[in-house]
Structure 1
Amino acid sequence: MKLVVTIERDEDGLYVAECPAIPGCVSQGKTREQALKNIQEAIALCLEVRRQEGLPLTSSSAWPT
């Protein structure tokens, strides 16, 4: 499964990564590379929790229509 990830720098200089297709799936890092690694781990954990809870893996509202 391929998912879109956004990475932006916040006011404190940290890189904040988000996966819009998975509500609440956000992470951060001191570098872009660290933020990307951290969001990959967060995505895996979020998907596992959603599977266990019987929730859809991704939010359909995150996809363009």
Structure 2
Amino acid sequence: MKYTIVIQWSEADNCFVVFLPDFESVMQPVTHGDTYDEALQNAQEVLSLLTELDDGKLPKPQPLLQIA
């Protein structure tokens, strides 16, 4: 499955924070990194763990933007 990963800089935390919109019920933000690449790698690891624990209740990936 393909899930959306949102990475943005946080001045307050002085790092890149990662949001997984499809997993809002888990926690937000879900991870972070000192660099963009580190944040992306951490996000991929979190997604891997979440999907490995699939008990048939994974959320359906939703498009972040819908183009009409």
> Normalised by the shorter chain, which TM-score bucket?
0.7 to 0.9
What TM-score, normalized by structure 2, do the two folds share? 0.70
* Number of the residue aligned with 1:19: 20
Q: What TM-score results when the alignment is normalised by the length of structure 1?
A: 0.73
Q: Which residue of 1 aligns with 2:34?
A: 30
Does 1:41 pair with 2:52? no
Specify every segment of 5 or more residues in structure 2 that has no aligned partner in the other structure, as ranges. none
Is there any run of 5+ residues in structure 1 with no aligned partner, and where?
none
- In the TM superposition, structure 1's runs of 4+ consecutive aligned residues that sit over 3 Å from their partners are none
Flag the structure with more relative contact order, 1 or 2, with Cα contacts below 8 A and sequence separation at least 6. Answer: 2
Task: Give the helix-richer structure, 1 or 2.
Answer: 1
- The letter for the 2-side match of 1:21 is D
CA RMSD of aligned residues (A): 2.2
Kept in 1, the 8 Å contact 2:3–2:62? The answer is: no
Q: Residue 63 of structure 1 aligns with which residue?
A: 62
The alignment-based identity, stated in percent, is: 30
Q: Distance in 1 between matches of 2:31 and 2:45?
A: 9
Instruction: Give the CA deviation at 1:55.
Output: 4.4
